[in-house]
Amino acid sequence: MEASSEERPLHGFTVGITAERKAAELGSLLQRRGAAVRYGAAMHTVPAPDDGELIAATDAVLAEPVHYVVAVTGSGFRGWLEAAERRGMGERLKQHLGEAELLARGAKASGAIRGAGLRESWTAPSEEMPETLEHLLLRGVEGKRVVVQLHGDPMSEFREKLRAAGAEVLPIVVYRWEDPADLPALDALIDAVIAGEIDALPFTSAPAATNFLMRAERTGRGERLLTALREKVFIACVGQVTAAPITRAGLPCSTPERARTAALVRLIADELPDRRR
């Protein structure tokens, strides 16, 4: 028995997937809804070297008491503690952070905090950074040391607004991003977007969104890609942090109410067929 259009609302649509870690999950969810998928990972994640910037930043955190700690992602917060553990600083860092107010951007960050035996004082209901910034500014940060665990987007505006309010901001970079191993697949996906063969493009991380645009720019296809994305493609970002580089490029995009992969797929399934009609 053939599935109905309600069960497979994305039948006849092609979706490009730029994710690396979540590519299989995202592709499977989209295919269940009838979409054809094209893969082209836009970046590769590598841990920051333990003996470089991360350790120097950790030393700076430990040098004096901190007042607020912002955990942006679960994997990033765990990665930071794991790097400190490898250098014999794990327990000292956890004790130090436990004396501050820990703020979580969302449920995954909150889970990582609790998994370390710590307790968050607040979690953003929307799981978005603007709400986290508003909460901090309302609490007051003048003269306070604020640790911000970064993941993907450098969050320059977030950090600058804290500094403008009088905070000392200590950024923690846990992971770095580089070009994917399979650049031909990424280039082929960019070409497919330009050719009008891709109907929707979901992004699950800011680095993937940034490098997708930058790869086209570096290879002389930047303007053609922007035109195609603006006129032919439904862009969906899992959250506001991921959407930031897309918005800066002047491109329209949609985000689900909750920053979850399943919610992102539902958004595409709900909105993409309406765009065609």
Query: pLDDT value at position 2?
Result: 44
Domain containing residue 188: 14-43+181-276
Q: Which residue positions in the chain have pLDDT lower than 70?
A: 1-6, 49-51, 152-153, 277
Interatomic CA distance for residues 226 and 221, integer angstroms: 9
- Please indicate, yes or no, whether residues 254 and 192 belong to a single structural domain of this protein: yes
Interatomic CA distance for residues 255 and 190, integer angstroms: 22
1 in any annotated domain: no
Q: 159 and 79 in contact (C-beta within 8 Å)?
A: no
Query: pLDDT value at position 113?
Result: 98
- Please indicate, yes or no, whether residues 162 and 142 belong to a single structural domain of this protein: yes
- Please indicate, yes or no, whether residues 91 and 167 belong to a single structural domain of this protein: yes
- Please indicate, yes or no, whether residues 27 and 114 belong to a single structural domain of this protein: no
Interatomic CA distance for residues 86 and 264, integer angstroms: 36
Query: pLDDT value at position 51?
Result: 54
Given 110, 145, 177, which residue is the final one in a domain?
177
Looking at residue 234, which CATH number applies to its domain? Answer: 3.40.50.10090
Q: Which residues are CB-neighbours of 51 under 8 A, at least 6 positions away?
A: none
Query: pLDDT value at position 21?
Result: 86
Query: pLDDT value at position 191?
Result: 98
108 in any annotated domain: yes
pTM (2 decimals)?
0.77
Q: 209 and 237 in contact (C-beta within 8 Å)?
A: yes
Query: pLDDT value at position 66?
Result: 98
Query: pLDDT value at position 259?
Result: 82
Residue 102's DSSP bridge partners are 69
Residue 246 identity (one-letter amino acid) = I
Query: pLDDT value at position 49?
Result: 65
**Long-range CB pairs of 48-51, under 8 A, 24+ apart, other chains included:** 48/83, 48/173, 48/174, 48/175, 48/176, 50/83, 50/86, 50/87
Structural domain count, the chain: 2
